[in-house]
Structure 1
Amino acid sequence: MINAVLFDMDGLIFDTESIYKTSWKYAAKEQGLELSDALYQYFIGVPDAACEQMLVQHLGAELDLQRYQAIRDKHFHALCAAGVTYQPGFTELFGYLQQRAIRCALVTSSGVAEVKHYFSGSPILEQFERVITSEDVSRGKPYPDCYLLACEALALPPAECLVLEDSNNGMQAALDAGCQAIMIPDMLQANDEVKRRAKHILAHLGEVIPLL
């Protein structure tokens, strides 16, 4: 039984992951450093603070983190100013859930400011019953804390909540929380553990509708 659908945001609802990657790599290059694709893969679905810790560990004393953050954020916001689009199938799926009165929550590794920015000018954010951001938990994905908090806020057992995620880290968080979980891969394909544990792996969000 599915009594609520919990949405990730970056890479699932919005096509933002490629923009994030471009800006993270740009800021490293600005300091004459390189952020490899192999390292960036570990950042997908993980809160910025944890990603920055990995970056510092990898690049060491050569990295000026404060300068890096400023350059990255400025570059990212400039790219976003051109517009961030919904991922295929999102509006159809969300409309279907609203018509069926299926409860919805947003569970993201981004902060409140980013959430409000992406949904600005749209009534969709107000239609989520609960919004859980990186600011609500001390441990982000791949830890299950954010999804456990969402289930608690909805007063539902995890087994009655369906999580939709685009990253392996997000899927691990959802599955370890005890939720049902479907992956719609964006920049990374499902790893072996996710393939084994996921309810489904789909091409786009519109494919979720027949499964509800």
Structure 2
Amino acid sequence: MEAVVFDHDGTLVDSITPDYEACSQVFREYGAELPAAVWAADVCGNTDGYPALFARLAESIGRHDAAARMRERLSELWAASLLPGSVPLMPAVRDVLDGLRESGVRLAVASAAPRTWVTGCLEHHRLLDRFQAVVAAEDVERRKPAPDAYLAAAARLGVPPERCVAVEDSLTGVDAALAAGMRVIAVPTPVTRSLDYSRADHVLPGLGGLTAALRAPSDRKAAHVRH
């Protein structure tokens, strides 16, 4: 292993909690509840999942014309809650990055989010200089679960994909990294812990266990987070 490629949202920064809360707020405003498991399976890591989610909500309440307004309302809530200065780092991020860098491991970010968002968060938390490469939505033709972002990150690092380890929080991201030929370590968030991460090589309850997992053999049969 020569390099570690991190997803951004939900892996380095906790944007997943406010994102889920914003979607839940839209549902509540229309008299419905949004189970975390539904959001995790259909939306987390899947940009195309939002329109489908609100289309189903609109249909369920007999308001077929309301889906567009629901999406607009979500954008309003995002503007208020999803800001680089208000999204905290995930636990242990800084220590993990510093430890890997001191060990000579090359680091990159592979995200499906816009570059302004990714670099804005990393700059706010003073972490941008830890990474030799940052791949964002504008840099690839296809979003995750296509492997493009991970392949681009490996290319920019100058490291073959099979010598890279990807760190992901979403099933979409796990599939993208596997398709790129990388070993994958999944670190689910509290919102996504109910999902089946058995396709990943390791499943961790937090980033604090990453260094040990990088040295361990694959355990791809583990279906859920080990406690």
TM-score by length of 1: 0.84
Q: Pairwise mapping of residues 130-169 of structure 1 onto structure 2 (< 5 A)?
A: 130-169=133-172
Aligned to 2:97: 94
Work out whether residues 89 and 206 of structure 1, in 8 Å CA contact, stay in contact via their aligned partners in 2.
yes
Residue 78 of structure 1 corresponds to 80
Q: Give the 3 Å change call, closer, same or farther, for CA 25–205 of structure 1 in structure 2.
A: same
Check if 1:123 corresponds to 2:157: no
Structure 1 Cα separation of the partners of residues 124 and 100 of structure 2:
21
Deviation of 1:188 (Å): 1.6
Match of 1:11 in 2: 10
Gaps of 5+ in 2: 216-227
Paired with 1:17 and 1:55, the residues of 2 have a C-alpha distance of 16
Cα separation, 2, equivalents of 1:24 and 1:202: 26
Matches of 1:83 and 1:206, distance apart in 2 = 22
- What whole-Å deviation, never above 9, does each CA across 1:96-153 have from its counterpart, x for those lacking one? 0121221111111211121133223333113311111122223222222211222222
State how far apart, in whole Å, the 1-side matches of 2:203 and 2:180 are.
Answer: 18
Q: Whole-Å Cα distance in 2 between the matches of residues 140 and 35 of structure 1?
A: 29
Retained in 2: the 8 A contact 1:144–1:176?
Answer: yes
CA contact (8 A) 2:91 2:206 kept: yes
Percent identity over the alignment is 27
Question: Cα deviation per residue 1:8-35 (whole Å; 9 max; x = unaligned)?
Answer: 11111111101001112323544x3747
Which shows bigger deviation, 33-42 or 88-97?
33-42
**Pairing 1:108–2:90 present:** no
Would the aligned equivalents of 2:91 and 2:208 in 1 still touch at CA under 8 Å? yes
Matched, 1:189 2:193: yes
Kept after mapping to 2: 8 A contact 1:105/1:128: yes
Whose helix proportion is higher, 1 or 2? 1
Q: Output the CA distance in 1 between the equivalents of 2:117 and 2:154.
A: 22
Q: How far is the alpha carbon of 1:80 from its aligned partner?
A: 3.9
What RMSD over aligned residues (CA atoms) do the two structures have, in Å? 2.4
Aligned residues: 205
Segments of structure 1 that go 5 or more residues without pairing to the other structure are none
Residue identity opposite 2:7 in structure 1: D
- The structure, 1 or 2, with the larger RCO (C-alpha pairs under 8 Å, 6+ apart) is 1
Deviations 1:77-112 (A, max 9, x none): 322457221111111100101212211111112111
* Distance (Å, rounded) in 2 between the aligned partners of 1:190 and 1:160: 30
Distance between the aligned counterparts of 2:151 and 2:122, measured in 1? 24
Aligned to 2:49: 51
8 Å CA contact 1:12–1:166 kept in 2: the answer is yes
Greater shift, 149-158 or 68-77, is seen at 68-77
8 Å Cα contact 1:183/1:190 also seen in 2: no
TM-score (norm 2): 0.79
CA contact (8 A) 2:170 2:188 kept: yes
Q: After TM superposition, what 4+ stretches of structure 1 lie above 4 angstroms from structure 2?
A: none
